[in-house]
Amino acid sequence: MKENLIDSSVVLFEVRCRENNLKITPQRTEIYKELLKAKDHPSADMMYKRIKKNLPNISFDTVYRTLLSFSEIGIADIVEGYGEPKRFDPNIHDHHHFRCIKCGNIIDFRCELYDNIEIPEEIKKEFYVTKRRVILEGICKNCSKK
């Protein structure tokens, strides 16, 4: 992520933390900056290994709870792993995912048609839909070559 985008995202991070009465700690800031750099929709374990390099005394539990709190305050999304660990996405703007069923790689993509997908009436009657996200699954180019 480009430096000016990281800077504006960190401002959003600080605003959302204050709005939700979360202290802006060095650990939270470091975890958020590392998440912003991630392009791979990392799991908490992946993030823990990355963060531990700069904060050797941080615990896995701190990283995991912090990522969950980022989701709760709207500065990160959780990508469910279908039996695999949750993955975290710093991109909170409308987009969709493709997930490789062999390697587990997740990539973002945009599709206006999917952004405007019609919500079935039976869902509208029972639920208030807050987000539309399509997840396509298949085999990525790298795995199909193997």
Q: What is the pLDDT of residues 18-44, one digit of tens each?
A: 999 999 999 999 999 999 999 899 999
Determine the Cα angle at 86 with ends 81 and 87, to 5°. Answer: 95
pLDDT band at 7 (very low <50, low <70, confident <90, very high): low
The pLDDT assigned to 9 comes to 82
| pLDDT greater than 80 at residue 6 | no
Q: Give per-residue pLDDT as tens, 57-115.
A: 999 999 999 999 999 999 999 997 667 889 999 998 899 999 999 998 999 999 999 99
Which has more pLDDT, 131 or 121?
121
Q: How far apart are CA 29 and CA 35, in angstroms?
A: 10
Please, which residues have CB within 8 angstroms of residue 91's CB and are 6 or more apart in sequence? 77, 108
List all residues 6 or more positions away from 59 whose beta carbon is below 8 Å from its beta carbon.
none
User: Domain ranges in the chain?
Assistant: 3-89, 96-145
Beta strands in the chain (DSSP E): 77-81, 84-89, 96-100, 106-109, 135-138
Handedness of CA 16, 91, 30, 104 (dihedral sign): positive
> Residue 107 class from Cβ within 10 Å (0-12 exposed, 13-18 middle, 19+ buried)?
middle
CATH 1.10.10.10 describes domain 3-89: yes
CATH homologous superfamily, domain 96-145: Ferric-uptake regulator, C-terminal dimerisarion domain (3.30.1490.190)
